[in-house]
Amino acid sequence: MAKKPGGVKGPRERKSSGRGQRDLRVRVKSAKGRKLSSTLWLERQLNDPYVQRAKREGYRGRAAYKILELDDKYRFLVPGARVVDLGCAPGGWCQVAVPRINALGEKQGKAQGRIIGVDLQEVDPIPGAEIHVLDFLEDGADDKVKAWLGGEADVVMSDMAASSSGHKGTDHLRIVALVEAAAQLAFDVLSPGGTFVAKVLAGGAEQSLQTMLKQNFDKVANVKPPASRSDSSEKFVVAQGFKGNRDGFMPQDAEE
C-alpha cells in the first residue's frame, strides 16, 4: 500500500536498506556566476517535503503549513471568525484561513467568516480573501482595516520578517520591533477575547514583547511548529484571550 503524501520522510530520515538502495536526494550542481549559498538554498528547496507538498496541494508556499499546524493545536481559525493577515504575501496563510473560517460560505449551517490581507505589495487574488495594499505602520491603518473588515477582528496574524541584513543580532532586533508594531495594531483592531499570532526570531531581545503580550492576553504560548525548519531560529507567539486594553499596557497597579 502506498504511503500518504504527509507520511513521506525527509531526506535526512531515510535509512539505507541494503545493496541497491539509491540516494533519492536531489543534488544541484554549482553554476557559473551562482553563489554557493544560492546553490545550497536551491538544493534545500528541491528536497524539502513541505515545499513538495505545497506544490501538490496548491498552496503558495511551505509557510502555509505553519499556520495550519498552529491552528490545529490552538483552534483560532473557526467558522465565522474575522481575520486580519498582516504582510500576507504570497498568500499561503490566507489560503489556509479561507476554508477554516468559512469565508466562502460553503459550510452549510456554519457562520461565514471574513479575512482581510494587507501587504506592501500587490498579491494575486485569493478566492474568499480581500487583499489590500497597505503599510500597516502608517497613521490611520487600524481605522482602514476595521472599515474593510466591517468591525473588529477576532484574529490578527503575521508571518512578517524584516529584510535580512546578514547580521543575526540586527535581524533579531528588527523582527522584534516589527512584531511589537503588529501587536500594537492588534490592540487597536481586536475584539475582547481575540487572538494574536506572529513570527519572531529567538534571540533574547523579545522580553519586552513577551511582557506586553502577557499583560494583555489571558494566555501566551511560544511554539515552533513542525513545518518550521529545525535549523531556523524562528518561533511563533500565540496570544489568546485579548483583555481589551487599547493602549497595549496595563495600568501600573495591575502589574504590581
pLDDT tens-digit readout, 29-66: 445 555 545 544 444 555 568 788 889 999 999 999 99
Burial of 212 (0-12, 13-18, 19+ CB in 10 A): buried
The confidence score (pLDDT) of residue 123 equals 96
The 10 Å Cβ neighbour count of residue 233 is 15
pTM of the predicted structure, to 2 decimals = 0.78
Q: Is the peptide bond before 90 cis (omega within 30 degrees of 0)?
A: yes
pLDDT digits (tens, 9 = 90+) for 72-120: 999 999 999 999 999 999 999 999 999 999 999 999 999 999 999 999 9
Of 29-33, 141-145, 187-191, the range with the lowest mean pLDDT is 29-33
CA distance 74 to 183: 18
Q: Where are the domains of the chain?
A: 31-60, 63-255
Q: Which residues contribute to the annotated binding site for S-adenosyl-L-methionine?
A: 91, 93, 119, 135, 159
* Cβ-Cβ contacts under 8 Å for 225 (sequence gap 6 or more): 65, 66, 69, 70, 73, 236
CA distance 194 to 145: 15
Q: Which residues contribute to the annotated binding site?
A: 91, 93, 119, 135, 159
Q: Cα angle vertex 244, ends 242, 248, to 5°?
A: 90
Only one residue has cell 534571540, namely: 203
Architecture of domain 63-255: 3-Layer(aba) Sandwich (3.40)
Q: Which three cell numbers stand for residue 8?
A: 513521506
The confidence score (pLDDT) of residue 165 equals 67
CA distance 59 to 74: 21
Q: Assess whether pLDDT exceeds 80 at residue 186.
A: yes
* Cβ-Cβ contacts under 8 Å for 249 (sequence gap 6 or more): 212, 215, 216
Catalytic residues: 199
